[in-house]
Structure 1
Amino acid sequence: MEFNSKDIEHLSRPPLFDFHGVSMIHCFTDNWENIQKFQARPDDILIATYPKAGTTWVSYILDLLHFGQTSPDRQTSLPIYERVPFLESDFHILPPGTELAEKLTTTPRLIKTHLPVQFVPKSFWEQNCRVVYVARNAKDNAVSYFHFDRMNIAQPEPGDWNNFLQRFMDGKMVFGPWNDHVTGWWEKKQTNSNIHYMFYEDMIEDTRRELDKLCSFLGLSPSEEEKERVRGGTQFDNMENNNMVNYSTIPVMDFKISPFMRKGKVGDWKNHFTVAQSEQFDEDYKKKMMNTTVQFRTVV
């Protein structure tokens, strides 16, 4: 897909604004009517995450599981953002996510979203679509989001780490507070068996085990050899060097500042948080997460 350099030249860092109680930026709300009217199909699979929680990893796993053998050419000719459209995106350098999703010829259609659960188009629930949700511990998620905002001019100005961390705790992030996102989807899962809730840390600890659970949820039974191929292909180093997966073809991202795929580790927060920041964060976290049963770990 060709990008229009004129559109990119005019891009400047967008302001955050309140949108139905959630901080957003215009490229995720400009196409709102079409997003809400989006017609899901019963076999669609929605990949939902808070930003920087393993979205691309799981998207690629699902793509390989479903189409790795039947359409191998798509792995080398189509970037992941065309294979797995970003539903609410309207960046003007690509067609809107709704349009890309509608044009998909695959069965199932794989579609990704960062929307909090209350914003998901109702047709996904009406059609009983399967949803794969991935959650990552708040500290690592904050660090990854910080570096992403530094290198992506389509995101708000991050400022320095200290200010960014305060904003993260205040929930003034694109797609809203981390805690509302992960707990909102967790609560939905309690009454909806079509949601498979995964943890980034579990995937790092034992990718093969989590792959088996995912296949079971999706009703897939790939051979051992095929599962190993998917696991190998989606290892961090392989994805980092795969131009069809690592977003190096998107011009709004400056890889000289930070790569899109930076480390993919659990516990990198220890290299960023001071002791005081960690204590303050833990205190805040306890208050916000006291009424939920979802549990996270910050080390593996």
Structure 2
Amino acid sequence: MPDDQTVPHRALLVPVKGIPLPAHFAKDFDAVSAFCPHPSDLLVASYPKSGTTWIQEIVDLLLHNGDAESCRRASIIKRNPFLEAPAHLCQRTGVALLKEMDPPRVMKTHLPFQLVPVGFWENKCKTIYVARNAKDTLVSYYYFQQMNLSGPEPGPWEGYIQKFMRGQLGWGSWYDHVKGYWEEREKRNILFLFYEDMKENPRREVEQIMKYLDLSLSDDVISRIVELTTFENMKENPMVNYTFIPKTVFDQSISRFMRKGDVGDWKNYLTAEQSAEFDEDYEKKMKQVNIPFRTQF
């Protein structure tokens, strides 16, 4: 295993309490599990490639009254540390970065509900969870894993679809992940958002986040935040688009971190046969819950 200052090679997946994580994420998981947040801390959670960065930037702008310059004070990974991140992403682990910051802090995680440090629930921390439909998440995650040279090798597309359906990817099963937070949302006061709703009516969703954070901003400020957090604007924002990560880790010549951001892009990748197989499997795994996902508008 490389030391903390070197870039790891493509990682293998290692089970942590039954959930597969890339080896360099699993390595320091005891420190993550022991992390104790302040009650004022905010957690932004999602399955990978579901809109986490979008929510983080909206939250930061809301907390800074829509001041774009304040939100360029540092890269998003330093402003809102990635809780379980290894050191190679930001010179220090996510936990180390958070310990250098004073509450209230905003942080992100991709951990499924059962692996989130219990202090978040014991201290009644606010949590925003964003979920994206399975098919678009599948496509986005596949392209991300191609350019993320420190993550597991994605392999061919046909096999990747099977890995997704079986939960054999980093952070485990998409199905279990979304169900876990959905089922706990009322008990834990989790604001559960849908990527598709944000694409359809971003202003409505920004206002919903604002109210959840007990903030009250002017209409003009909300309009500015909506504009600053369009996909096109964030894609060109060097503090948000992950171009601050070395090419040896994220090779964006293979695929951009912020690639398309569309709803329904899966239609360009899944064949009719693959889509039908996926749908059949989806119905089996999701039949016990009624989460209103949309795969197109």
The interval holding the TM-score normalised by the smaller chain is over 0.9
The equivalent residue for 2:191 is 196
* 1:216 aligned counterpart, secondary structure: helix
State whether residues 129 and 193 of structure 2, in contact with CA within 8 Å, keep that contact through their aligned partners in structure 1: yes
Q: Distance in 2 between matches of 1:264 and 1:27?
A: 28
Shifted more, 150-159 versus 93-102: the winner is: 93-102
Write the distance in 1 (CA, Å) between the matches of 2:227 and 2:5: 39
TM superposition shift of 1:19: 2.1
Q: Provide the rounded CA distance (Å) in 2 between the counterparts of 1:65 and 1:74.
A: 11
Tell me, yes or no, if the aligned pair for 1:57 and 1:234 is still in contact at 8 Å. yes
Partner of 2:278: 281
Number of the residue aligned with 1:117: 113
The aligned counterpart of 2:245 is: 250
Cα deviation digits, residues 165-197 of structure 1 (max 9, x gap): 1110111010000000000000111322x2000
Structure 2 gap ranges (5+): none
Change (3 A) 1:5 1:125: closer
For the residues of structure 2 that align with 1:253 and 1:224, how far apart are their CA atoms?
37
SS of the aligned residue for 1:17 comes to strand
Q: 1:76 deviation in Å? A: 2.5
Equivalent pairs counted in the alignment come to 292
Q: Residues 100-122 of structure 1, C-alpha deviation per residue, up to 9 Å, x if partnerless?
A: 112124x5310100000000111
Residue pair 2:87, 2:93 contacting (<8 A) in 1 also? yes
The within-5 A match list for 1:23-42 is: 23-42=20-39
Q: Does 1:205 align with 2:222?
A: no
Gaps of 5+ in 1: none
* Cα RMSD after superposing both structures: 1.6
Amino acid at match of 2:26: T
Change (3 A) 1:66 1:6: closer
1-side partners of 2:193 and 2:168: how far apart? 25
Q: Which residue in 2 is equivalent to 1:90?
A: 86
CA drift of 1:293 comes to 2.1
The one-letter code matched in structure 2 to 1:230 is: I
Moved more, 84-93 or 108-117: 84-93
Deviation at 1:73?
A: 4.3
Asked if the contact 1:68–1:75 (Cα under 8 Å) also holds between the matched residues in 2, the reply is no
Report the residue type matching 2:40 in the other structure: D
Q: Paired residue for 2:235?
A: 240
Matches within 5 A, 1:121-200: 121-192=117-188, 194-200=189-195
How far residue 295 of structure 1 moved from its aligned partner, in angstroms, is: 2.0
Q: Which amino acid aligns with 1:140?
A: D
1:27 is displaced (CA, Å) by 2.0
Aligned to 2:13: 16
Q: Hey, what's the Cα distance between the residues in 1 that align with 2:30 and 2:13?
A: 20
2:51 equivalent to 1:54: yes
> Aligned partners of 2:206, 2:220: CA distance in 1, in Å?
13
Work out whether 1:299 is the aligned partner of 2:293. no
Contact 1:14–1:155, Cα closer than 8 Å, also in 2: yes
Match of 2:6 in 1: 7
Aligned position for 1:228: 223
Contact 2:4/2:88 (8 A) holds in 1: no
